[in-house]
C-alpha cells in the first residue's frame, strides 16, 4: 500500500510557525468541506469506514492520533503528531482513527460535500468494492 504522507510547507521565525494550505501548494484539489475532531474520549476509536469517491487531507493540528489504513490487501498504521504533516487519502481506503492524545485536534480537508451515499461502513462491502471480497 502506498501511503501519501508528506511535509507541509512551514514558515518559522521568532514569532512562531505558520503552515498555509493553498490550492496547488500542498492541496491538489478544490476544498469543498472542512471538519475537525477534538475532545475525543480516551480509548475511543473513530472511523470504521471508507469512501467510494472522496479525497481527504488529514492534519493533526494539535496533539497526536494514529490512523490504521487498509486497502484490502494490507494494513498500515500512521502516526500523525505534527501540524506540518499531512496524510492524503485519495482512493477507497478503510480507516480507523484511535489513540487520540487529550489535546488532539484532527483537521480534515475534503474535495466534496458530505454525502451519506459515499460512505462504506461495512468492511465486507469495502472488500468487494476494492476487488478483494
State pLDDT tens for residues 62-118.
999 999 999 999 999 999 999 999 999 988 999 999 999 999 999 999 999 999 999
51 is catalytic: no
The full set of domains in the chain, from first to last, is: 4-8+26-129 (2.60.120.10)
The residue from 49, 51, 58, 114 that is catalytic is 49
CA dist., res. 28 & res. 88, Å (int): 10
- Show Cβ contacts of residue 120 under 8 Å, excluding neighbours closer than 6 positions: 49, 50, 51, 52, 92, 94, 126, 129
C-alpha cell read off for 20: 498555509
Structure pTM? 0.93
- pLDDT, one tens digit per residue, over 19-72 is 998 887 778 889 999 999 999 999 999 999 999 999 999 999 999 999 999 999
Amino acid at each position: 500500500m502506498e501511503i501519501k504522507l508528506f511535509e507541509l510547507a512551514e514558515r518559522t521565525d521568532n514569532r512562531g510557525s505558520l503552515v498555509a494550505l493553498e490550492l496547488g501548494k500542498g492541496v491538489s484539489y478544490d476544498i469543498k468541506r472542512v471538519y475537525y475532531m477534538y475532545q475525543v474520549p480516551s480509548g475511543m476509536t473513530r472511523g470504521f469506514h471508507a469512501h467510494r469517491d472522496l479525497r481527504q487531507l488529514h492534519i493533526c493540528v494539535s496533539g497526536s492520533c494514529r490512523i490504521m489504513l487498509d486497502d484490502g490487501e494490507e494494513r498500515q498504521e500512521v502516526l500523525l503528531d505534527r501540524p506540518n504533516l499531512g496524510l492524503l487519502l485519495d482512493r477507497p481506503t478503510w480507516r480507523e482513527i484511535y489513540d487520540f492524545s487529550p489535546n488532539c485536534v484532527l483537521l480534515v480537508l475534503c474535495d466534496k460535500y458530505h454525502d451519506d451515499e459515499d460512505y462504506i461502513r461495512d468492511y465486507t462491502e469495502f472488500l468487494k468494492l476494492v476487488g478483494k471480497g
